[in-house]
Amino acid sequence: MTALIQASGLTILRPGGSETVLQGVDFQIRPGEIVTVVGPNGSGKSSLVRALLGHMPLAAGRVERRAGLRIGYVPQRVQVDTTIPMTVRRFLSLPRRVGDRDAARALARTGVEGVEARQLTQLSGGQFQRVLLARALLHDPQLLVLDEPTQGLDQPGIVAFYKLIEEVRRQTGAAVLMVSHDLLVVMRASDRVICLNGHVCCEGTPQHVSSAPEYRALFGAESEGTLALYRHHHDHDHSHDHHHHAGAH
Amino acid sequence: MLDDFFVRAMLAGLGVAAVAGPLGSFVVWRRMAYFGDATAHAAILGVAISLAFHISIYAGTTLVAAAMAAAISALVSRGQTVDTMLGVLSHSALAIGLVAISFVPQARSDLSAYLFGDILAVGPGDLALIWAGAAGVLGLLAWRWQRLLTASLNEELAMAAGIDPRTERLVLSLALAIVVALSIRVVGSLLISAMLIVPAAAARGLSRSPERMVGNATLIAAVAVMAGLWASLYLDTPAGPSIITAAAAIFMFSQAFRRA
């Protein structure tokens, strides 16, 4: 098995109900690949991620994770309660303790060096997402799983975050599985896009997906913008893009 | 030394303070204040059952408190509104306990001892049980510390690290049931959850890490115990309520020094 995670025929039921959230989904992610799952609200994106991680019971199908696969995970909408006093440094040591040097290195890698002594609740939204990413990077993951990592960030923050993801992939060689709402930006950062709506509507390169009728039916007007932006980006950044990909594989 | 009732009272109070700091911090972190209240109120029913069937009060209250905690968890997972349901269970448990205890003649006379504690009447046997139970709970919390903390901070992050949040919830419920039983002679059923929450709440503003908060909460609980006992000795006030009054005073004072 060359894939890090390989799933076939995944069917998931709504908790406590009999309606299906996902039906017959096949999925795989290979080393070093950036795969993005897009889809409307309630399309089963987070359920897919949880099923792949083994946090969700399957009604049918199977998930195979490579033996000993190290996953760094940033869940959706991580909220840290103000009732728990928690410094960034202490947070990085949960649940596995890490040394000061490893902690500092991970924070530097995600662009938030020196915030160790700050309380989690004192960080801005963007800083907090970077700390979460740093924590996910601590134990040398082969796969990063990020569920809507840019929620609550403004547009420049979103662009900067995806740049950071590409940077991390280039430095560490980790594969990245992302769930996202940010159609416009996310497309550029991905090698492969999966468009989900209870089942896989369409799948392929960002360019392929953004011009697919299924995708356009699902996202309507917003997809026009994606396509325009994608082409724009593609025209101007083509050589850079290829260079980048060559470096990653 | 243990012949002196006041020394025994002090040691019993400090034993409870030693577990109230750490467990109370979890109660604050996980917003389990009402959960603690309901579990503690169930203890009165535990006392009635223990006296009626001639079993140890500690065993009876632990069992009933644990059953209460299990009932709450089951109802919450069925999708009942937590706030309303805890309100129903908490006050029902107290009322049913008071009705049940009225059928037990020997308990009617010293009902207030179970409601508000009777720390000055703690015997050497009680003391041994309080400290053994406290050591057990502290050992349990220390053993699972990293897991409990991660699960309290964020359940998804915990699951990603292979921690089952349900197990950690169960551990805390069990610890709570034991602490309720240990505290019933010290502060009584009505004030147990105050003993958990007030010192931890006072410590929150003074602490920058979870471990500091646990340490500060334990210290504050211990100071409250000593101050409350002192007041009851020299001012002839009831000991349990005096301990909580002292903790409340420290809480008010701590609000002036909040750091984070």
Convert the pLDDT of each residue in B196-217 to its tens digit.
999 999 999 999 999 999 999 9
Closest CA to A63 of A144, A143, A3, A6: A6
Interface of A with B in 90-119 (CB under 8 A): 90-91, 94-97, 119
Between CA B227 and CA B239 the distance in angstroms is: 10
- Provide the chain B residues 143-182 that lie in CB contact (below 8 A) with chain A: 146-147, 149-150, 152-154, 156-161, 163
Assigned token pair, A155: 């547009």
Helices A221-248 and A155-172: angle between axes, nearest 10 degrees = 30
Of B149, B160, B210, the CB nearest to A53: B160
ipTM: 0.88
CATH architecture of structural domain B5-257: Orthogonal Bundle (1.10)
User: What's the gap in Å between the CA of A205 and the closest CA on chain B?
Assistant: 29
Q: Structural domains in chain A?
A: 5-70+140-248 (3.40.50.300)
Tell the burial category of A2 from Cβ atoms under 10 Å away from its Cβ (0-12, 13-18, 19+): exposed
Residue of B nearest to A76 (CA): B156
Handedness of CA B132, B133, B136, B139 (dihedral sign): negative
Give B61's pLDDT tier (boundaries 50, 70, 90): very high
Whole-prediction pTM value?
0.86
pLDDT per residue over B74-130, tens digit each?
A: 877 776 677 888 888 889 999 999 999 988 887 777 888 899 999 999 999 999 999
- Tell me whether residues B156 and A76 touch, CB distance under 8 A: yes
Q: Are residues A86 and B161, on separate chains, in Cβ contact within 8 Å?
A: no
- pLDDT band per the 50, 70, 90 thresholds, residue A56: confident
> Between residues 27 and 56 of chain A, which touch chain B (CB distance below 8 Å)?
53, 55
Closest approach of B224 to chain A, Cα-based (Å): 22
Looking at the complex, does the CB of residue A80 fall below 8 Å from at least one CB of chain B? yes
Helix/strand/coil (H/E/C) assignment for every residue in B118-136: CHHHCCHHHHHHHHHHHHH
Q: What is the pLDDT of residues A83-123, one digit of tens each?
A: 899 999 999 999 999 999 999 999 998 999 999 999 999 99
Q: What tokens were used for A113?
A: 């060096």
Task: Give B194: exposed, middle or buried? Use CB within 10 Å, 0-12, 13-18, 19+.
Answer: buried
The residue extents of the domains of chain B are 5-257
A204, β-bridge pairs: A193
3-class secondary structure, A192: strand
User: How far B37 CA sits from the closest chain A CA (Å)?
Assistant: 19
CB within 8 A of B107, min separation 6: which ones?
B47, B48, B51, B101, B114
Phi and psi dihedrals of B8, rounded to 5? -60, -45
